[in-house]
Homo-oligomer: A and B are copies of this chain.
Amino acid sequence: MYEEMMTPRPERPRRKNDPAGLRSRVLDAAFCLFQEQGYNATGVQEIAASAGVTGGALHHHFPSKKALGLAVIRERVGAAVEETWLEPVRSAHSARSAIREVFCALAAELDRNGSVRGCPVNNLTLELAFVDPDFRAELRSIFDHWRRTLATKIREEAPADADRLATMVVASYSGAMAIAKVEQQGEPLRQCATELERLL
Protein backbone atom coordinates (compact mmCIF):
# COMPACT_ATOMS: atom_id res chain seq x y z
CA MET A 1 0.00 0.00 0.00
CA TYR A 2 2.77 2.32 0.98
CA GLU A 3 4.69 1.50 -2.12
CA GLU A 4 1.67 1.75 -4.31
CA MET A 5 1.24 5.33 -3.30
CA MET A 6 4.84 6.00 -3.85
CA THR A 7 4.53 4.75 -7.42
CA PRO A 8 1.06 5.52 -8.69
CA ARG A 9 1.96 6.53 -12.19
CA PRO A 10 5.58 5.45 -12.39
CA GLU A 11 4.06 1.97 -12.82
CA ARG A 12 5.49 2.25 -16.29
CA PRO A 13 7.43 -0.90 -17.16
CA ARG A 14 10.71 0.89 -16.66
CA ARG A 15 12.36 -2.07 -18.29
CA LYS A 16 15.62 -1.01 -19.83
CA ASN A 17 17.01 -2.28 -23.07
CA ASP A 18 20.18 -4.27 -22.90
CA PRO A 19 21.38 -5.01 -26.43
CA ALA A 20 24.77 -6.29 -25.36
CA GLY A 21 23.24 -8.53 -22.73
CA LEU A 22 20.72 -9.94 -25.13
CA ARG A 23 23.39 -10.57 -27.70
CA SER A 24 25.49 -12.28 -25.10
CA ARG A 25 22.63 -14.46 -23.95
CA VAL A 26 21.98 -15.57 -27.52
CA LEU A 27 25.64 -16.41 -27.95
CA ASP A 28 25.66 -18.42 -24.74
CA ALA A 29 22.53 -20.35 -25.66
CA ALA A 30 23.81 -21.06 -29.16
CA PHE A 31 27.20 -22.18 -27.88
CA CYS A 32 25.54 -24.54 -25.44
CA LEU A 33 23.11 -26.02 -27.96
CA PHE A 34 25.75 -26.40 -30.66
CA GLN A 35 27.84 -28.23 -28.12
CA GLU A 36 25.05 -30.61 -27.20
CA GLN A 37 23.36 -31.25 -30.54
CA GLY A 38 25.66 -29.90 -33.18
CA TYR A 39 25.25 -26.99 -35.56
CA ASN A 40 22.99 -28.52 -38.18
CA ALA A 41 20.73 -30.22 -35.66
CA THR A 42 19.98 -26.94 -33.89
CA GLY A 43 17.37 -24.49 -35.20
CA VAL A 44 17.52 -20.76 -34.76
CA GLN A 45 14.13 -20.64 -33.13
CA GLU A 46 15.34 -23.26 -30.69
CA ILE A 47 18.25 -20.99 -29.84
CA ALA A 48 15.90 -18.02 -29.49
CA ALA A 49 13.60 -19.94 -27.16
CA SER A 50 16.51 -21.19 -25.08
CA ALA A 51 17.85 -17.66 -24.72
CA GLY A 52 14.42 -16.25 -23.91
CA VAL A 53 14.48 -14.03 -26.98
CA THR A 54 12.09 -13.62 -29.86
CA GLY A 55 13.08 -14.58 -33.34
CA GLY A 56 12.91 -11.00 -34.52
CA ALA A 57 15.36 -9.81 -31.90
CA LEU A 58 17.75 -12.59 -32.77
CA HIS A 59 17.55 -11.73 -36.43
CA HIS A 60 18.33 -8.12 -35.62
CA HIS A 61 21.66 -9.03 -34.02
CA PHE A 62 22.49 -11.95 -36.31
CA PRO A 63 21.05 -11.66 -39.81
CA SER A 64 21.59 -15.34 -40.56
CA LYS A 65 22.31 -18.60 -38.83
CA LYS A 66 25.74 -18.69 -40.37
CA ALA A 67 26.59 -15.26 -39.00
CA LEU A 68 25.52 -16.47 -35.57
CA GLY A 69 27.65 -19.59 -35.94
CA LEU A 70 30.72 -17.59 -36.92
CA ALA A 71 30.16 -15.23 -33.98
CA VAL A 72 29.87 -18.18 -31.61
CA ILE A 73 33.18 -19.55 -32.83
CA ARG A 74 34.95 -16.22 -32.59
CA GLU A 75 33.53 -15.00 -29.30
CA ARG A 76 32.81 -18.18 -27.36
CA VAL A 77 34.75 -21.14 -28.70
CA GLY A 78 37.96 -19.16 -28.86
CA ALA A 79 37.41 -17.91 -25.33
CA ALA A 80 36.74 -21.44 -24.09
CA VAL A 81 40.06 -22.66 -25.48
CA GLU A 82 41.79 -19.66 -23.98
CA GLU A 83 40.31 -20.33 -20.56
CA THR A 84 40.68 -24.09 -20.28
CA TRP A 85 43.89 -24.52 -22.23
CA LEU A 86 46.05 -21.54 -23.03
CA GLU A 87 45.86 -19.71 -19.72
CA PRO A 88 46.75 -22.79 -17.65
CA VAL A 89 49.58 -23.55 -20.05
CA ARG A 90 51.07 -20.07 -19.77
CA SER A 91 50.88 -19.96 -15.99
CA ALA A 92 52.30 -23.45 -15.49
CA HIS A 93 55.97 -23.78 -14.70
CA SER A 94 56.56 -26.45 -17.34
CA ALA A 95 54.84 -27.83 -20.40
CA ARG A 96 54.86 -31.31 -18.90
CA SER A 97 52.97 -30.37 -15.78
CA ALA A 98 50.62 -28.09 -17.70
CA ILE A 99 49.53 -30.85 -20.00
CA ARG A 100 48.95 -33.33 -17.21
CA GLU A 101 47.00 -30.76 -15.25
CA VAL A 102 44.77 -29.79 -18.13
CA PHE A 103 44.09 -33.36 -19.22
CA CYS A 104 43.35 -34.58 -15.73
CA ALA A 105 41.25 -31.56 -14.83
CA LEU A 106 39.13 -32.10 -17.92
CA ALA A 107 38.82 -35.83 -17.25
CA ALA A 108 37.78 -35.23 -13.66
CA GLU A 109 35.19 -32.69 -14.74
CA LEU A 110 33.77 -35.08 -17.31
CA ASP A 111 33.45 -37.92 -14.81
CA ARG A 112 31.97 -35.61 -12.22
CA ASN A 113 29.54 -34.14 -14.69
CA GLY A 114 28.52 -37.59 -15.86
CA SER A 115 28.32 -36.65 -19.53
CA VAL A 116 30.91 -35.94 -22.19
CA ARG A 117 29.88 -33.46 -24.83
CA GLY A 118 33.30 -33.19 -26.40
CA CYS A 119 35.58 -30.35 -27.33
CA PRO A 120 33.74 -27.44 -28.95
CA VAL A 121 36.48 -26.76 -31.46
CA ASN A 122 36.58 -30.33 -32.65
CA ASN A 123 32.83 -30.76 -32.74
CA LEU A 124 32.38 -27.80 -35.02
CA THR A 125 35.48 -28.55 -37.05
CA LEU A 126 34.47 -32.07 -38.01
CA GLU A 127 30.96 -30.93 -38.80
CA LEU A 128 31.65 -27.78 -40.79
CA ALA A 129 35.30 -27.38 -41.76
CA PHE A 130 35.05 -29.34 -45.00
CA VAL A 131 31.77 -27.90 -46.23
CA ASP A 132 32.20 -24.21 -45.53
CA PRO A 133 35.42 -22.25 -46.12
CA ASP A 134 34.36 -19.41 -43.82
CA PHE A 135 33.90 -21.74 -40.88
CA ARG A 136 37.12 -23.48 -41.75
CA ALA A 137 39.09 -20.23 -41.72
CA GLU A 138 37.66 -19.24 -38.37
CA LEU A 139 38.35 -22.62 -36.81
CA ARG A 140 41.78 -22.84 -38.33
CA SER A 141 42.87 -19.63 -36.65
CA ILE A 142 41.85 -21.12 -33.31
CA PHE A 143 43.89 -24.26 -33.96
CA ASP A 144 46.86 -22.20 -35.08
CA HIS A 145 46.74 -20.00 -32.02
CA TRP A 146 46.39 -23.09 -29.85
CA ARG A 147 49.40 -24.87 -31.33
CA ARG A 148 51.52 -21.74 -31.40
CA THR A 149 50.96 -21.00 -27.73
CA LEU A 150 51.70 -24.60 -26.86
CA ALA A 151 54.85 -24.66 -28.98
CA THR A 152 56.14 -21.52 -27.28
CA LYS A 153 55.81 -23.20 -23.91
CA ILE A 154 57.36 -26.46 -25.06
CA ARG A 155 60.30 -24.62 -26.61
CA GLU A 156 61.43 -23.61 -23.14
CA GLU A 157 62.38 -27.21 -22.46
CA ALA A 158 62.66 -29.01 -25.77
CA PRO A 159 63.64 -26.46 -28.40
CA ALA A 160 64.14 -29.09 -31.08
CA ASP A 161 60.74 -30.43 -32.04
CA ALA A 162 58.48 -27.93 -30.33
CA ASP A 163 56.15 -27.40 -33.27
CA ARG A 164 55.75 -31.09 -33.94
CA LEU A 165 55.20 -31.83 -30.28
CA ALA A 166 52.57 -29.11 -30.04
CA THR A 167 50.71 -30.67 -32.94
CA MET A 168 50.94 -34.02 -31.20
CA VAL A 169 49.53 -32.63 -27.98
CA VAL A 170 46.59 -30.97 -29.64
CA ALA A 171 45.92 -34.03 -31.79
CA SER A 172 45.99 -36.51 -28.95
CA TYR A 173 43.76 -34.27 -26.88
CA SER A 174 41.23 -33.97 -29.68
CA GLY A 175 41.24 -37.67 -30.34
CA ALA A 176 41.12 -38.61 -26.67
CA MET A 177 38.08 -36.39 -26.34
CA ALA A 178 36.44 -38.19 -29.24
CA ILE A 179 37.03 -41.57 -27.61
CA ALA A 180 35.81 -40.15 -24.30
CA LYS A 181 32.65 -39.11 -26.09
CA VAL A 182 31.80 -42.60 -27.33
CA GLU A 183 32.60 -44.11 -23.96
CA GLN A 184 31.13 -41.27 -21.92
CA GLN A 185 33.99 -41.27 -19.46
CA GLY A 186 37.20 -39.32 -18.98
CA GLU A 187 39.59 -42.23 -18.76
CA PRO A 188 41.00 -41.96 -22.33
CA LEU A 189 42.21 -38.45 -21.48
CA ARG A 190 44.20 -39.73 -18.52
CA GLN A 191 45.74 -42.50 -20.60
CA CYS A 192 46.88 -40.05 -23.26
CA ALA A 193 48.21 -37.68 -20.62
CA THR A 194 50.43 -40.45 -19.28
CA GLU A 195 51.85 -41.20 -22.70
CA LEU A 196 52.34 -37.54 -23.53
CA GLU A 197 54.38 -37.09 -20.36
CA ARG A 198 56.78 -39.78 -21.58
CA LEU A 199 57.17 -37.83 -24.77
CA LEU A 200 58.11 -34.49 -23.26
Instruction: Write the residues of chain A forming the contact surface with B, with a CB cutoff of 8 angstroms.
Output: 36-38, 40-41, 115-118, 122-123, 125-127, 129-131, 136, 139-140, 143, 161, 163-165, 167-168, 170-176, 178-179, 181-184, 188, 191-192, 194-195, 198-199
Residue of A37, A116, A164, A181 contacting most chain B CB atoms (<10 Å) = A181
CA distance A184 to B129 in the complex (A): 9
Chain A interface, DSSP helix/strand/loop, else mixed:
helix
Specify how many copies of this chain sit in the oligomer.
2
Q: Which residue of B lies closest to A41 (CB)?
A: B40
A154 CB to nearest chain B CB (Å) = 12
Given the known A-B contacts A126-B127, A131-B36, are A178 and B188 also in contact in the complex, defined by CB atoms under 8 Å?
no
